[in-house]
Amino acid sequence: MSGLYERHRAVSPEWLALYYRHPVELTHGDGRYVWDADGNRYLDFFGGILTTMTAHALPEVTKAVAEQAGRIIHSSTLYLNRPMVELAERIAALSGIPDARVFFTTSGTEANDTALLLATAYRGSNQILAMRNSYHGRSFSTVSITGNQAWSPTSLSPLQTLYVHGGVRSRGPYAELSDERFIEACVADLEDLLGHTRVPAALIAEPVQGVGGFTSPPDGLFAAFRQVLDRHGVLWISDEVQTGWGRTGDHFWGWQAHAEHGPPDILTFAKGIGNGMSVGGVVARAEVMNCLDANSISTFGGSPVTMAASLANLSYLLEHDLQGNARRVGGLLIERLRSVAAASPAVREVRGRGLMIGIELVRPGTDEAAPEAAAAVLEAARAGGLLIGKGGGHHTSVLRIAPPLTLTVAEAEEGAAILADALHAAA
């Protein structure tokens, strides 16, 4: 492995991050498990950053990929594409957006980039509202609306971004308020902000902040925001790249926890729908999607192979009620992890919903972030046979847990036990 690592360092940018002191080469997977080049088996609680949504080597998906690849791999959007149309029809129906149109991309970054293009063109404004602690991708436009310093490498931007309170419930100036007062304070902040600026094109928000450490506002915040946004003519973009497809258990989309005033104007998705294939996309009502007055295509968005994989994956997810499994097994897992955390003075909070769980670490006896502890637990978990992620603002002190949605109760117990040992070892 050291030889491959040295080769990697010789040809890759220094800013291209790798997990672990001794990075892992994953060679194959099956279900919720993966194996490295040395033959070690790991229970996968991160799914390649929430992307292997159903299972590794899911037969239905691999069969669909092989069959489509045997027919035609690529055509571009210049030609009719049956798998793309079929998937677009299903996603449009599932989105909740009336008269929906769907445009496919190759990643969540590109999906959010497209949503920003649509919103700014539709509203004739280059101002964007974004949430503090947010993350929306790595392109020039999406890093400029990312409210997380560690993932925004430049202050140069094609957009003017204004940041709003509300994405983090348990930190910041409103943390001590009740949920109702928290929402009232965030809405007042938004109203005040809009009173001091030109009308922005849109608010973009993750219902659960992914890279930010699986933080979320109280249910109903974005519904309350929506009333203000509608009054000012500001669009709402829901970034569902990590929260979509039932991962949160209670809802198919994250925005549905804030559904009092209907769906967002624009919805972006990626990651889990392709179960590892490179798929992203944008859903918007026709009036917004059709606002562009110049030609546009996608060379790789909507590829027949990725569309076939996504169709098979989506069918499997719906037919096996993986959203329900995320709710049931995720509920058990989060309670088990809270029990584990009670014995660790380094754990400030265990939060999340469904199979999207964060464990925030601090220096014992303080409220200070502990990125060194998160790194130590990550290493100890790997040594115990478990792969997890990390995130959480610029301190990276939150353990991120997001297994495939087919996770069993036994595997949840196995992962929780390894994490308990890892927390103990790191302490």
DSSP state string for 72-110: -S---TTS--HHHHHHHHHHHHHH--TTEEEEEESSHHH
Whose structure tokens read 């097994």? 329
| 256: nearest Cα among 212, 319, 214, 207 | 207
Residue 283: its H or E element: strand 280-285
Task: Indicate if 102 and 247 belong to the same structural domain.
Answer: yes
Residue 36 burial (C-beta neighbours within 10 Å; 0-12, 13-18, 19+): middle
pTM: 0.96
Which pLDDT does position 1 carry in this prediction?
A: 58
Residue where a domain stops, chosen among 285, 319, 353:
319
Task: Indicate if 312 and 417 belong to the same structural domain.
Answer: no
Domain that holds residue 327: 2-58+321-426
> What CATH number should be reported for the domain holding residue 46?
3.90.1150.10
Task: Indicate if 203 and 100 belong to the same structural domain.
Answer: yes
Task: Indicate if 52 and 106 belong to the same structural domain.
Answer: no
Task: Indicate if 102 and 124 belong to the same structural domain.
Answer: yes
By DSSP bridging, strand 160-164 and strand 127-131 are parallel
Task: Indicate if 382 and 337 belong to the same structural domain.
Answer: yes
What whole-number distance in Å separates Cα of residue 122 and Cα of residue 113? 14
Task: Indicate if 48 and 24 belong to the same structural domain.
Answer: yes
Which pLDDT does position 395 carry in this prediction?
A: 79
Which pLDDT does position 108 carry in this prediction?
A: 98
Task: Indicate if 185 and 314 belong to the same structural domain.
Answer: yes
Task: Indicate if 131 and 215 belong to the same structural domain.
Answer: yes
> What CATH number should be reported for the domain holding residue 230?
3.40.640.10
* Predicted confidence pLDDT, tens digits, the chain (427 residues): 579 999 999 999 999 999 999 999 999 999 999 999 999 999 999 999 999 999 999 999 999 999 999 999 999 999 999 999 999 999 999 999 999 999 999 999 999 999 999 999 999 999 999 999 999 999 999 999 999 988 888 888 899 999 999 999 999 999 999 999 999 999 999 999 999 999 999 999 999 999 999 999 999 999 999 999 999 999 999 999 999 999 999 999 999 999 888 999 999 999 999 999 999 999 999 999 999 999 999 999 999 999 999 999 999 999 999 999 999 999 999 999 999 999 999 999 999 999 999 999 999 999 999 999 999 999 999 999 999 999 998 779 999 999 999 999 999 999 999 999 999 988 7
Q: Quote the number of domains for the chain.
A: 2
Task: Indicate if 326 and 313 belong to the same structural domain.
Answer: no
